[in-house]
Chains A and B, each alone.
Chain A
Amino acid sequence: MTAIEAPRSPVRPARKRGVNWEKWGWIYMRASGVVLIVLIFGHLFVNLMVGEGVKAIDFGFVGGKWADPFWQWWDVLMLWLALIHGANGMRTLVNDYTSPGAVQKVLKGALAAAAVVLIVLGTLVVFTFDPCPAGSPADLLPSFCPAV
């Protein structure tokens, strides 16, 4: 007869002292989730519902949006909140479907690496973006770019 553990017995005992990171992760998922609903619904409405929707998106469209700091900060906030929310959610799945060990460490490392790389990349892109790159055909650029 094999001894079966109680279904909810933890693999590792809970931390007794220090910061309770699982609690703050739990709080983060709810707080960021509420903010993300506003940010993503706004993003989808402006990009897919207004005017010709997805058919209107091109370099000039993005350049026009990011000429305004409001949309720069909107998109950067969305980037940070969504990637951390998504990576932490995927961490929950890794915890559920793998046992502690090398595989679990590699999967969590990959999630963290993907989140960090894309957050850094996306933030740099938004804030170093040049809407009027020299030498590009004027018909591909936003209308406010000076004619060469």
Chain B
Amino acid sequence: MPETSAGTLTAPAKPAKQKPGGTLYRGREGMWSWVLHRITGVAIFFFLLVHVLDTALVRVSPEAYNAVIGTYQTPIMGLGEVALVGAIVFHAFNGLRIILVDFWAWATRHQRVLFYIVIALWVVTMLAFVPRHLINVFSH
């Protein structure tokens, strides 16, 4: 019974607002960047499978390709493309953060700051993309 025996080891009087686990990792920037990198990576992978197949329809006929790509231009899918680009941009910038953390001692020490820089760059990139894309989707 590892759980109960571990429970008896904890001190009885804890400070009220302790972070879960009390580690440097759990619930902090490092964990959330990892979680988001996984979720965005899986989402992008499954989109990629579909996207190669829909593009392959150019080899079938112009009508077949236009029919499917037309569904990418509807409002619902337009919002989906915002989510897709958001996932790609996060995965890209956080991937660069991972490389820096791996290869550069300064970045390893400052990985938390780098996470907030990733978030800031994500916001800036999305501010450049989202209004323009939504105007294209909802007008014309």
Contacts and interface: CB of A to CB of B under 8 A. Distances in A.
Interface of A: 1-2, 4, 30, 33-34, 36-37, 40-41, 44, 48-49, 52-55, 57-60, 62-63, 79, 82-83, 86-87, 89-90, 93, 114, 118, 121-122, 124-125, 128-129, 133, 136-137, 140-141
B69 A55 contact: no
Interface in B50-69: 52-53, 55-56, 58-59, 61-63, 65-66, 69
A87 to B, nearest CB: 8
A93 B38 contact: yes
What does DSSP make chain B's interface, helix, strand, loop or mixed? helix
A121 B2 contact: no
Contacts of B65: 58-59, 62
Contact of A129 (B59, B73, B92): B59
Contacts, number: 111
A122 B52 CA distance: 6
A93 B66 CA distance: 35
A92 to B, nearest CB: 9
Nearest to B84: A44
Interface string B105-132: 0000000000000000000000001001
A89 B92 contact: no
B106 to A, nearest CB: 18
Given A44-B88, A128-B59, A136-B61, A34 B99 contact: yes
Nearest to A33: B95
B26 interface: no
